[in-house]
Amino acid sequence: MAEVFRMCCLLIVLLVLAGIGLCGKGNECEQKCQARHGPGSQGSCDYIIKPPLCNCYYDCPTPPPLPKLCNGGGGLCSYSCEDQCCSDRCATKFSQGRGRGYCDDSAGPWLCQSQYPC
């Protein structure tokens, strides 16, 4: 039995539509959907397409929280050390290589600004 899988997250209503295989007898789509995604999910058979496919609607999972970012300084930027150089400095200096940097001149001097996971 070929299984067709299709998923798209509708961000507006925070709902996922997943294709979960071919339709069977009775309310098999509903049972398949609830087995995979829990009792709050809803399955239905789409007879418009051939062969008919089961669709499963369920709530989007909650995204993981964004990591807290800290700021630091990576020294001065120059024409010989621009954004990539600054970012490399920050990666070396902060958070075991996870620091990133950019050159910023909004406060006057051209400074290497670093951001890294705290």
Q: What is the pLDDT of residue 11?
A: 36
Strands 69-76, 42-46: pairing is unpaired
Q: Which residues of the chain have pLDDT under 70?
A: 1-15
Q: What is the pLDDT of residue 58?
A: 85
Q: What is the pLDDT of residue 49?
A: 83
Q: What is the pLDDT of residue 9?
A: 38
**How many other CB atoms are there within 10 angstroms of residue 15's CB atom?**
15
Which pTM value belongs to this model? 0.48
